[in-house]
């Protein structure tokens, strides 16, 4: 969790009109965070989606920037004419840490990354939660030069469940389906860099997530983001169903890996 300290300004990109804040995390460290406000034009379920990704990113050690709930106080809001004029309300919003110096990924830059195997977990996550936006929007996959070398980061999980604004019937339908995405960077990763073992490693981690952890995640969603108890239960049912299908999703993705790279360690 984070506590907003000062408002910096708009990011300038994105359908959810993200904003930059200087914030303090649970360890007392000051970070610059990209914040999606609860009153964004796509609705508060976008924040639920982002929180879901942040939690799975932590459980699976995915290359998502650290993120979580961020509390914005009335005092911080009063310090900004822009936020006050926009009617932003104090309370819980979603924030993730800003990646300075990052660039957008193209297929010509993928070979530089030292953490390409982590993308197996991101591919699995995106297919478990029906996120087509990682390749439809080329700005949702970043690369940054760090001390160890170039690293990939996957950002912006607002469009989970195909378009972000999900319903109970939509969750019920999506729980049983898979739409394979092998466009752009994903196709390059599957063709040249990933192996079935990479996918099944993350599938095993997903399968090990206990019901109590999933229930705890649902209970941690701020009430104002998801007030409908039936929707909370439907989301929990979906998470349990997709967890149990992790190996099936990994197997479907592994079919796109050329035979020469498949090896004998698929399972």
With 0-12 / 13-18 / 19 or more C-beta atoms within 10 angstroms meaning exposed / middle / buried, residue 8 is middle
- Same structural domain, 70 and 170: no
Within-domain flag for 170 = yes
pLDDT bucket at 27, cuts 50 / 70 / 90? very high
- Same structural domain, 176 and 238: yes
Question: What does the pLDDT read at residue 182?
Answer: 93
- Same structural domain, 148 and 93: no
pLDDT bucket at 260, cuts 50 / 70 / 90? low
Using the predicted structure, report yes or no on whether residue 18 has a pLDDT greater than 90.
yes
Last residue in a domain, options 48, 63, 97: 97
Using the predicted structure, report yes or no on whether residue 99 has a pLDDT greater than 70.
yes
Dig out the tokens for 187 from the structure.
């196709």
| Residue among 54, 57, 42 at smallest CA distance from 95 | 54
Question: What does the pLDDT read at residue 266?
Answer: 41
Question: What does the pLDDT read at residue 256?
Answer: 95
- Same structural domain, 55 and 174: no
Main-chain dihedrals φ then ψ at residue 227, nearest 5 degrees: -75, -20
* CA-CA-CA-CA dihedral for 192, 194, 196, 200, to nearest 10: -170
Q: At what angle do helices 45-60 and 196-207 cross, to 10 degrees?
A: 110
For the segment 174-212, what is each residue's pLDDT rounded down to a tens digit? 999 999 999 989 999 999 999 999 999 999 999 999 999
Mean pLDDT, residues 4-32: 93
Within-domain flag for 267 = no
Within-domain flag for 218 = yes
- Same structural domain, 143 and 255: yes
Name residues whose C-beta falls within 8 Å of residue 76's C-beta, 6 or more positions apart in sequence: 4, 5, 6, 7, 21, 90
Q: At what angle do helices 229-244 and 196-207 cross, to 10 degrees?
A: 140
- Same structural domain, 204 and 256: yes
pLDDT bucket at 52, cuts 50 / 70 / 90? very high
Q: How many CA atoms lie within 13 A of 88 on its CB side?
A: 29
Question: What does the pLDDT read at residue 164?
Answer: 79
- Same structural domain, 12 and 131: no
Sheet holding 103-104, edge to edge: 103-104, 141-146, 149-154
Name residues whose C-beta falls within 8 Å of residue 106's C-beta, 6 or more positions apart in sequence: 138, 185
- Same structural domain, 93 and 151: no
pLDDT bucket at 264, cuts 50 / 70 / 90? very low
**CA–CA gap between residue 34 and residue 50 (Å, rounded):** 12
**CA–CA gap between residue 13 and residue 27 (Å, rounded):** 29
Using the predicted structure, report yes or no on whether residue 150 has a pLDDT greater than 70.
yes
- Number of folded domains in the chain? 2
**Element (DSSP H or E) covering residue 144:** strand 141-146
Radius of gyration of the chain (CA): 19
For the segment 237-247, what is each residue's pLDDT rounded down to a tens digit? 999 999 999 99
Candidate from 5-9, 12-16, 74-78, 112-116 with smallest mean pLDDT? 12-16
- Same structural domain, 175 and 78: no
Mean pLDDT, residues 55-80: 97
Please give the residue range of the domain that contains residue 12.
2-97
Mean pLDDT, residues 43-47: 95
pLDDT bucket at 251, cuts 50 / 70 / 90? very high
Last residue in a domain, options 79, 97, 115: 97
At 145, which CATH number? 1.10.1070
Within-domain flag for 186 = yes
- Same structural domain, 156 and 38: no
**In the predicted model, what is the mean pLDDT of the chain?**
94
- Same structural domain, 195 and 147: yes
Within-domain flag for 82 = yes
Dig out the tokens for 222 from the structure.
């701020």
Mean pLDDT, residues 117-126: 98
- Are residues 152 and 142 in contact, defined by beta-carbon separation less than 8 angstroms? yes
Within-domain flag for 43 = yes
**CA–CA gap between residue 246 and residue 190 (Å, rounded):** 17
Using the predicted structure, report yes or no on whether residue 83 has a pLDDT greater than 90.
yes
Alpha-helix runs per DSSP H in 129-228: 133-136, 168-174, 184-188, 196-207, 211-219
Using the predicted structure, report yes or no on whether residue 265 has a pLDDT greater than 60.
no
- Same structural domain, 216 and 139: yes
Last residue in a domain, options 97, 114, 131: 97
pLDDT bucket at 262, cuts 50 / 70 / 90? low
Q: How many contiguous H segments (helices) and E segments (strands) does the chain have?
A: 12, 8
């Amino acid at each position: 969790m984070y506590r907003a300290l000062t408002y910096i300004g708009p990011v300038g990109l994105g359908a959810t009109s993200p904003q930059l804040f200087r914030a303090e995390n649970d360890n007392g460290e000051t970070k610059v965070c990209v914040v999606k406000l609860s009153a964004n034009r796509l609705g508060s379920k976008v924040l639920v989606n982002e929180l879901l990704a942040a939690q799975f990113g932590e459980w699976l050690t995915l290359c998502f920037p650290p993120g979580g709930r961020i509390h914005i106080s009335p005092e911080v809001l009063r310090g900004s004419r822009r936020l006050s004029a926009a009617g932003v309300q104090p309370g819980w919003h979603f924030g993730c840490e800003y990646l300075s110096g990052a660039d957008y990924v193209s297929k010509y830059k993928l070979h530089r990354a030292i953490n390409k195997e982590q993308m197996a977990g991101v591919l699995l996550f995106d297919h478990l939660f029906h996120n087509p936006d990682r390749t439809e929007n080329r700005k949702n996959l970043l690369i940054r030069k760090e001390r160890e070398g170039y690293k990939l980061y996957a950002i912006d999980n607002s469009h989970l469940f195909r378009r972000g604004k999900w319903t109970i019937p939509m969750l019920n339908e999506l729980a049983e389906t898979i739409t394979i995405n092998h466009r752009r960077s994903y196709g390059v990763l599957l063709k040249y860099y990933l192996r079935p073992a990479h996918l099944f490693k993350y599938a095993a981690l997903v399968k090990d997530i206990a019901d109590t952890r999933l229930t705890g995640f649902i209970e941690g969603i701020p009430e104002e983001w998801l007030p409908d108890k039936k929707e909370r239960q439907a989301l929990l049912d979906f998470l349990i169903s997709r967890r149990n299908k992790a190996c099936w999703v990994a197997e479907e993705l592994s079919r796109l890996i050329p035979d020469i790279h498949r090896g004998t360690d698929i399972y």
